[in-house]
Amino acid sequence: MIKNGISTAVVKRLPRYYRYLGELMEAGTERISSGELSKLMNVTASQIRQDLNNFGGFGQQGYGYNVEYLYNEIGRLLGVDRRHNIIVVGSGHLGQAIANYTNFERRGFIVKGMFDKNPDIIGRNVRGIKIMGMEEIGEFIKKNKIEIAALTLPKQQAPEIAENLVAYGIKGIWNFAHVDLKLPKGIVVENVHLSESLMRLSYNLTTRDEK
């Protein structure tokens, strides 16, 4: 059993381990040493040992890690061993891109419904998922046991809509709006601020030029 209480820094790295272990499994690799994993992932072997030690006793001297076991344990910790029902709130291009990612579905994240306030797109289908009007959202969340909402709408609308979603029972918000949401304790918010990412890229380009 993997213990909880893992540091935020390690949590940030877990999905990357999960991805590499998944690719190793697909390639038929049964065991891997921290040294081999180090070369593959471009991380020091000691960092890998330290990170994976959080889960206790998999790595064995001269034997390495059992890829499938580690993959499954990390997957369980990441919650991808169970099903998460998602809605997409804001059905523009970004919302549609998310609904179209079948890879999320493979990991147990199922987009059950999409919402928008634009009457021109309400009623349309994206990969069989219907775009509904905002007034239907509350009932839909309750009926379909929706846990996560992807917020893909302009930042002006996001705070109020996020509060409503929480009132309707949403537990996690995947926030693409460029604003910090202030929500009750216990509600999980994961931000994807694309313009901040683009500015970091630009920062690194700028300092690179000045070197």
Beta carbon nearer to a copy of itself, 60 or 197: 197
- Residues 156 and 164: their CA atoms lie apart, in Å, by 14
CB 87 within 8 A of CB 113: yes
Of the candidate residues 7, 50, 60, 97, the single one contacting a copy of itself (CB under 8 A): 97
For residue 15, the Cα-to-chain-centroid distance in whole angstroms is: 9
Q: Please give the residues from 12 up to 31 whose contact with a copy of itself meets the rule CB under 8 A.
A: 12, 14-16, 18-19
Of the candidate residues 70, 116, 147, 181, the single one contacting a copy of itself (CB under 8 A): 147
CB of 199 to a copy of itself, least distance (A): 4
CA dihedral in degrees (158, 87, 17, 7; nearest 10)?
50
Beta carbon nearer to a copy of itself, 60 or 204: 204
Beta carbon nearer to a copy of itself, 39 or 63: 39
CB of 101 to a copy of itself, least distance (A): 7
Length of the chain: 211
Beta carbon nearer to a copy of itself, 12 or 62: 12
Q: Which two tokens stand for residue 200?
A: 């970091």
- Residues 128 and 150: their CA atoms lie apart, in Å, by 18
CA count, 13 A, side-chain hemisphere, 63: 7
CB of 135 to a copy of itself, least distance (A): 25
Applying CB under 8 A, the span of 54-62, 64-72, 160-168, 180-188 interacting with a copy of itself comes to: 180-188
Four-residue CA torsion sign, 18, 20, 22, 25: negative
Pairing of strands 125-126, 188-191: unpaired
Residue 196: which of 181, 211, 176, 182 has the closest Cα? 176
CB of 89 to a copy of itself, least distance (A): 15
Give the residues across from 188 on adjacent strands: 172
Of the candidate residues 100, 125, 133, 139, the single one contacting a copy of itself (CB under 8 A): 100
Which positions lie near a copy of itself, rule CB under 8 A? 4, 11-12, 14-16, 18-19, 41-42, 77-80, 84, 92-94, 96-98, 100-101, 103-104, 107, 109, 147-148, 171-172, 174, 178, 180, 186, 188, 190, 192-208, 210
